[in-house]
Structure 1
């Protein structure tokens, strides 16, 4: 048992060094703030220890709010990150869509979203998906973004029955691979291509068979109907009712807006329901983000944001197939 704990601690330290050295690329003259919650203090201390190897100015902020409402404080205190050149959001849930994060990024600070919530009791920093080659993910993202950015309509289908049409006129795609420099100042541990889709136009059927954000794995696929950009109907299965209750707890109809298309790029990740970030990063999956998308380049405000993940999509950008059964393909050239 002692050897197992020692091995897990070693993996957690390895993940923390990847975050500080490779993703955040903390410099000696940069002042870093690590934001965490009470149930992740041990991991935050490991991150602080690793950060101290590169900078002496490292502060720790422990927030009281837990779960999906953790962002409320950072919406009402937009200037809380002023004075820091780097911010690491290591709470349960992502802070990247909050107003404080948006202000920090606009002011030129580095911001890395590192949601640490897991469903199996293990530290996310110890997960194998932290080892993904960021250069490879950047190359994969470039292939997909080339076609997404030259299109205005995206169509996604799966063999289970997903059939969604999304619109993205004047909405350029972006990508996360952990590395804040590649993200022009901010990034996320979720390695993916994202599109802040037009918030009032998505229509069709989504059949999740991967995971439901922080809720965890989907044991039985179910049906979600979208119209005019919003979720209008959730099939009343056991997991469907759980999703409805979860969304209603935001106390904001805006959480029902489909505001993001995400495509996982992490070939080390598995969609098992153990980690929200791993699930949505897994290569061979796509996700629909609901709720706020202002940090992604959209215009929709809401009390939160989370992702609904499905597997093995066929994805078309203006009728050109760019992904088949979850695998990136190169479309044949179109001549006019």
Structure 2
């Protein structure tokens, strides 16, 4: 894809943010940018920016397997062993793969940077990359302690969502781009996440934000959960699109709800133009389906994707921590 000079200037600015504020590159670090042919131009631009900080930057362009790209990095667990920093800049996220998990466990830095967009604009040029990492960290910390101490999470929305999830023994984490704050691992999706128990989600989610890689919802539709799995999808146009997408994985484990997420990026808008921007948008929540091992869960599946809904009321046990998508300080409990 060819980009205008103005677009390339914005992309360079985004790449420098990643190099300096997210992965904190140093001169002697060996860096690997993993990408596919359709994002090679962006990878080359990132390499140019990264070389302002590090002398050793390589690009690994792999076969574009679409949403099944993770299989390649499950089959080659040691592919990142020679590098100190890995940036996963493919179309679909590879952070939940065995190779990424191995790299993180061995002390390498890993940034998940899936570059999928629906409007032919490079994600590197999106303004949501400008979100202050310190501010998003503070936002996460305000509510993380309540989530960590809770056993049950309830979510309702004016649109009709009524979900009940469980997280016994599971703690929340957050991404703000900065690998230092993530203990060596972070994502461009600026959010707080919980690896919910995989067999216990019950209720209904009304999807009125976006459908991840599929794009924006045109008509809200409902999804029913039973024992942690999708049991019914409402028979509307977008519901059918989502159902077809699920079927295309040919993997029943993709029907499992394994993550509950809260968007923390006030620069992001849920517009259906960029998967990462949608799930990051402040005022939204998302449910992640499929593999969740990189988030602290135990569920294996072919891949991972999220559905986004708007303006939730969220309760950690009986403490209300969000109201219509806005973080609130929970009132003291009365016994």
Q: Where does 1:223-242 land on structure 2 (aligned, <5 Å)?
A: 223-242=222-241
> Equivalent residue for 1:326?
325
Matched, 1:119 2:118: yes
> Equivalent residue for 1:8?
7
Are the aligned partners of 1:119 and 1:273 in contact in 2 as well (CA < 8 Å)? yes
Post-superposition CA distance 1:257-295 (Å, at most 9, x none) = 000000000000000000000000000000000000000
TM-score by length of 1: 0.98
Report the alpha carbon displacement of residue 335 of structure 1 after superposing the two structures with TM.
4.3
> Equivalent residue for 1:180?
179
Are the aligned partners of 2:80 and 2:103 in contact in 1 as well (CA < 8 Å)? yes
Alignment RMSD (CA, Å): 1.0
> Equivalent residue for 2:42?
43
Are the aligned partners of 1:37 and 1:66 in contact in 2 as well (CA < 8 Å)? no
Matched, 1:24 2:23: yes
Report the alpha carbon displacement of residue 248 of structure 1 after superposing the two structures with TM.
1.0
Consecutive unaligned residues in structure 2, runs of 5 or more: none
Q: Where does 1:1-336 land on structure 2 (aligned, <5 Å)?
A: 5-336=4-335
Are the aligned partners of 2:223 and 2:233 in contact in 1 as well (CA < 8 Å)? yes
Report the alpha carbon displacement of residue 66 of structure 1 after superposing the two structures with TM.
3.5
Q: How many Å separate the matches in 2 of 1:81 and 1:9?
A: 29
Report the alpha carbon displacement of residue 78 of structure 1 after superposing the two structures with TM.
0.5
Report the alpha carbon displacement of residue 65 of structure 1 after superposing the two structures with TM.
2.3
Q: How many Å separate the matches in 1 of 2:69 and 2:282?
A: 28
Consecutive unaligned residues in structure 1, runs of 5 or more: none
Are the aligned partners of 1:266 and 1:281 in contact in 2 as well (CA < 8 Å)? yes
Q: How many Å separate the matches in 2 of 1:197 and 1:105?
A: 21
Q: How many Å separate the matches in 1 of 2:111 and 2:32?
A: 11
Range 57-66 or range 187-196, more displaced: 57-66
SS in 2 for 1:309: strand
Q: How many Å separate the matches in 1 of 2:9 and 2:281?
A: 24
Are the aligned partners of 2:37 and 2:64 in contact in 1 as well (CA < 8 Å)? no
Q: How many Å separate the matches in 2 of 1:277 and 1:250?
A: 20
Query: Which 4+ residue blocks in structure 1 deviate beyond 3 angstroms?
Result: none
- Number of aligned residue pairs: 334
Are the aligned partners of 1:92 and 1:116 in contact in 2 as well (CA < 8 Å)? yes
